[in-house]
Amino acid sequence: MEIKQRHTRLEVMDFLGEKIDSIVDEFLKKIDENWQPSDFLPDTSSENFNAELKELQEQCRELPYDYLAVLVGDIITEEALPTYQSWLTDVTGIDKMKPEGWSKWVRMWTAEENRHGDLLNKFIYLSGRINMKQMEISTQYLIADGFDIGTGRDPYKNFVYTSFQELATNISHRRTATIAKDYGCTQLSKICGVISADEARHAKAYKSFVAKIFEIDASEMMIVFEDMMRKKIVMPAHFLRQSGEKIGQAYDHFSDAAQRLGVYTSLDYTDILDSLIKEWKIADISKLTDKAEKARDYLMSLPDRYRRVAGRDQKPRLAYQFNWINTPSAP
């Protein structure tokens, strides 16, 4: 298909969607060869189940309060998958009624993502450290409340968002894996590690979509990238709340705990932006409109501006009492 100099989002999506099968093969794993949650959990049918459960709980006993708060926030975020799937199926160029094309990508991506919340939920239940009902209430709230990430139905905006968000999720799970290992919780470390690896593959996929759009529609893609960064990338759990709270009330406390632990910080946000600028070769793209050139100038200056601000940030000191956690008090 020959792409005209001026074209619609739908034309670009249709063009890229012709190669979905090869995209799925490159970035997603075959289901029968992929890991499943039961690979990492005690086998309830085994005569060793009680011993394995006791070992799991012993490993989790020393995990600190902030770590548990961040882990539960990550689990709730993963469990809100229905929101993300419904959002993607409403993007321009994705017809959920068609079995092939972009809807196939969304289904296959969702199927891989579904294992993450499933595995973490079961593990944390077995740990005995969490008030499961309160976590489940927060999960139901987050799905019911949805999210507002500023992308609308625009596929260009959506792919910038997913590129950024999958990288952020990769960092968060990778860091929780490291911390779990430091506290001797080896099984949880393995779990967070394999989830992090999935997120890295997914990030590569969404970044490749944007790279292809830059080849086809560079000026429009540049303007959209700048617009998303001016508005800032909002995390998918930004409406997080606990029972009895207003919408979004728990999110800042969850974010503060992640910042204190070093699981996800303002410097990470800046590093992700910098990596995307380099990945998409923003400095080298030619034949841009005047508006797109100005957008590029703004993007190129942004990481240094963010680093200057991030360097002045202090770690939040105020601990918060989450009702998700069974320990009697925060440190």
End-to-end CA distance of the chain: 61
DSSP H helices in 148-217: 155-182, 186-216
Q: Is residue 197 part of a domain?
A: yes
The b-or-e profile of 42-72 (16+ CB within 10 A means b, else e) is beeeeeeeeebbeebeebbeebbbbbbbbbb
Residue 307 lies in a domain: no
**Residue 274: both structure tokens together:** 């910098």
pLDDT higher than 50, residue 279: yes
Residue labelled with tokens 């006993």:
61
pLDDT at 327: 58
Q: Is residue 20 part of a domain?
A: yes
pLDDT, greater one: 326 or 103 = 103
The arithmetic mean of pLDDT across residues 209-231, rounded, is 97
Which tokens is 89 given? 């199926």
Neighbours of 287 (CB within 10 A): 7
* Mean pLDDT confidence for 272-292: 97
Looking at the structure of the chain, the number of domains it has is 1
Radius of gyration for the alpha carbons in the chain, expressed in angstroms and rounded: 21
DSSP designation for 19: T
**pLDDT over 90 at 309, yes or no:** no
Residue 299 has a pLDDT of 98
Where helices occur in 218-322 by DSSP H, the ranges are 218-231, 251-261, 266-279, 290-310
Confirm whether 247 is domain-assigned.
Answer: yes
Instruction: Express each pLDDT in 32-74 by its tens digit.
Output: 999 999 999 999 999 999 999 999 999 999 999 999 999 999 9
Q: DSSP readout, 173-190? A: HHHHHHHHHHTT-HHHHH
CATH of the domain at 194: 1.10.620.20
**pLDDT given for residue 3 in this prediction:** 42
Q: Are 254 and 240 in contact (CB under 8 A)?
A: yes
Known catalytic residues are 35, 78, 113, 116, 166, 169, 198-199, 202
| pLDDT value at residue 311 | 65
Pick from 215, 222, 175, 221: which is nearest to 195 by CA?
A: 175
Residue 266 has pLDDT above 60, yes or no: yes
Look at the pTM and tell me if it is higher than 0.85: yes
Domain containing residue 100? 9-29+53-214+239-260
What is the spatial distance between Cα 249 and Cα 245, in angstroms, rounded to a whole number? 6
Asked, for residue 230, whether it belongs to a domain, the answer is no
118 neighbors 36 (Cβ within 8 angstroms): no
More confident residue, 136 or 330: 136
What is the phi/psi pair of residue 33, to 5°? -105, -5
**Is the pLDDT assigned to residue 6 strictly greater than 60?**
no
Q: Read off the tokens for 258.
A: 């992640």
The values of phi and psi at residue 158, to 5°, are -65, -40
- Number of Cβ within a 10 Å radius of residue 156: 26
Q: What tokens does 72 get?
A: 């539960």
Percentage of the chain exceeding pLDDT 70: 94
- β-partners of residue 325 are 130
Asked if pLDDT for residue 156 goes beyond 80, the answer is yes
In a domain, 115, yes or no: yes
Q: Quick check: is 267 in a domain?
A: no
Q: Which residue matches tokens 């029968």?
A: 32
Q: Over the stretch 106-134, which tens digit does the pLDDT of each residue have?
A: 999 999 999 999 999 999 999 999 999 99
Is the torsion defined by CA of 187, 272, 22, 84 positive or negative? positive
What are the residues whose beta carbons fall under 8 Å from the beta carbon of 19, sequence distance 6 or more? none
Q: CA 107: distance to chain centroid? A: 17
233 neighbors 227 (Cβ within 8 angstroms): no
CB 74 within 8 A of CB 258: no
Distance (Å, rounded) from C-alpha 70 to C-alpha 264?
A: 10
234-259 confidence digits (pLDDT tens): 999 999 999 999 999 999 999 999 99
Q: Mean pLDDT of all residues in the chain?
A: 94
- Residue 328 DSSP class: S
Q: What is the pLDDT of residues 164-201, one digit of tens each?
A: 999 999 999 999 999 999 999 999 999 999 999 999 99
In a domain, 34, yes or no: no
Residue 130 gets which letter from DSSP? Answer: B
